[in-house]
Structure formats: C-alpha cells, structure tokens
Amino acid sequence: MQTKRSSIDRVHPQAELIQEGAEWLKAGELVAFPTETVYGLGANALDASACAKIFKAKGRPQDNPLIVHVCNRTMANLLVLNWTTAAELCVQHFWPGPLTLILPKTVLVPDIVTAGLVNVAIRMPSHPVALRLIEATGFPIAAPSANLSGKPSPTSGSHVWCDMKGKIPLILDAGACLVGLESTVLDVSGGIPTILRPGGISKEQLEAVLGEVLVDAPTEKQAPKAPGMKYRHYAPQGELLLMSGIRERVIQRMGQEIQRGHARFKRVGVLCTSESAPFLHNRLPDLLFVLGSKDRPQEVASNLFEGLRLCDERGMDLILAEGIEEEGLGSAVMNRLEKAAGKQSKHI
C-alpha cells in the first residue's frame, strides 16, 4: 500500500486534510494522527473489521485492548454504561487531555476493541488535529500508539513514517508531540481509583482532585490490570543500563562504563540531563543525547522516545540512561526507562 504523509497545521488544521483522513476512516482504513501525547494509529472504533487492521499493522497481540478517542461528552456517553463520581471529576478536571479512563462499556463497543473485557478505555485528546478528525468522522476512533509493537511510541511524524510506511494510506504529520509520553490509564470503574499505567497526568495531580489514588502493582502471581503493561515493550537492540542516585556518582559511574564498553569494542550511547551533559561529553561516548533539565521532567518526557530511537538507529551496543526524580511526570519517565532496561537498573 502507498502511504501518503501530509504536513498538517497543529493549531489550525487544514480542512481538506482532515476531510481526507475522515474519508479513509469512514472507508474502514487506518489513519495515523497526532495527539498531545504520542501519535495514534486510528480506526473506526465501532467497526470490528477496521479495528482488526490495527492489530495487523502493528503486529499487536490480540489480548491487548485499544483506547477509544472521543471529541465530546455525548460521544463518550454512547460508549460508557455508567459513570462513577470519580470518572465525572476526571472529565471535569482533565479532559481534554492525557488521561484515559477505564469504565464499563456499552454493547456498541466491539469485543475486539476491549479484547473481550467488560470495561473500555476512553480518552478525549486535546490536540486540535485529533479533535477535528474525530468530529469530521462523526464516530469514536480506536487508536493505540502508532509504532510497531515492541518499539517506543512515536512522538514525531518521522517515527510513524519509519514504522508504518507501506502499511496504511495516510499519516497526518503535525510535528513533535508536546507531552511525548502516553496518557495515564486510570481505572475509575469502581472502588478506589487506580493507575494502571503512569503517564501524562501525574499521581499528584489526580490525588489533588480525587483524594486517594492507588497504583496497580503487578506481582509474579497477579498480572497487570492493563494487559499492555505485561509486555516488556521497548527493548532496545543494545543493552540499556538505567542509573540513578547521587548525580556526581552517576556521572562517575557512567564514565567508567563508557571506558569499559570501549575496551570491549562496544558503541556506547548516553541519554542524560542537560546538567550532567558537559561532564559526560568529556568521557567521549559514541552518542550523547540530552534529554532535558533534571528540573523539568516535562522536557525529559518529550525527548525520551526520540533519544531511545536514535540509539538504535545509530547502532549503540550499550545505552547508559540517567534516571530522574520519581515525582510528577518523572514517575512516568522512570516507568518507561525501567521497562526499556528490563532488570538492569542501578541506584547509586
């Protein structure tokens, strides 16, 4: 299939491009589009055979349900059987925005979307292109992140192009995504609200509105409640070592690891904060990617996936990643880095 990649204005999306996207979606095809978090790979959420194409294009396991994107509350009401008080509060405070709510589904939602679960994941994105596109189709859009399964989520049109060219008819490219990490997935179907995946809205922000909020902590016996969280996700081709703790020690340790790597003829990449970069630059890694300031987790979040993708592109055998404070958006950053590192995390 030939893939067209069209540049679209983020703030004032061109009507003819939105229309073109809507036509493909109405015809049961897939369209990649930007959201404020990451790019989505969209299909008509009410059409089971259109949604099946998503799993095929991504190589996604069938047991991993999709998030349904809506542009207004009326559309959301068609999909949700009953709204809890917590859900109502979330809608008031965080929609449109990077928060996905887990709620009981109506019969309108095909089983393939929820992978047979009784609950649906639903979100109103704030990106103007996403909202206009949903409006123009008139139906909700099911969309996972527009990467191949096992790769980092795409935060730019180029990332989507790299993973989806030849597989879908259209990519709406509005440049870089502002948040750069996926939405927070919050179960508000009953009981104490529980974070199933940390993301664009922090636990602290949720607690300020909802009071107590739990975090789903899967154990060896109990699978995570968001099926997608059981996959290792992004495993870079190279080995990734996550290092956090006292910054001076992390820098020193990274310097040693660069030397050791080079002694073994490895190409060593470093992902670090702007504060540590000048010191690590001196240690001559093969790639130095600055994630952003340690005091601005938002900046680090928005650059993280670009940095991880770059390390693979440039063939790094060893990737040394500097951890940041697990606070606010920093928790979501660390969650993604820990997943990429597998068990290779060091606190020093």
Q: Could you tell me the sign of the dihedral formed by the alpha carbons of 231, 181, 314, 275, in that order?
A: negative
- Cβ atoms < 10 Å from Cβ of 310: 16
Residues 157, 168 contacting (CB under 8 angstroms): no
Instruction: State which of residues 126, 145, 205, 276 lies at the interface with ligand TXA (CB under 6 A).
Output: 145
Residue closer to Mg ion by CB (options 182, 299) is 182
Site string for ligand TXA, 28-67 (x = CB under 6 A): -------x-xx-x-----------------------xxxx
Interface residue with ligand TXA, options 18, 70, 120, 243 (CB under 6 A): 120
Lookup: tokens for 219: 């154990």
The least distance separating ligand TXA from the CB of residue 69, rounded to whole angstroms, comes to: 6
Question: How many residues interact with ligand TXA (rule CB under 6 A)?
Answer: 30
Cα distance between residue 75 and residue 256, in whole Å: 55
DSSP string for 231-293: S-----SSEEEEEESSHHHHHHHHHHHHHHHHHTT--EEEEEETTTHHHHHTT--SEEEEEE-
Q: Does 100 bind Mg ion (CB under 5 A)?
A: no
The entry of Mg ion, ligand TXA, none that residue 304 binds, CB within 5 to 8 Å by partner kind: none
Query: With binding defined as CB under 5 A, does residue 335 bind Mg ion?
Result: no
CB-based contact 113:45 (threshold 8 Å): yes
Q: Which of residues 122-151 bind Mg ion (CB under 5 A)?
A: 145
Letters for 70-109 (x = contact with ligand TXA by CB under 6 A, - = none) are ----------------------------x-x-x-------
Measuring CA to CA, which residue among 63, 49, 47, 189 is closest to residue 109?
A: 47
Give the residues lining the site for ligand TXA (CB under 6 A).
35, 37-38, 40, 64-67, 98, 100, 102, 114, 117, 119-121, 123, 143-145, 182-183, 185, 196-197, 225-229
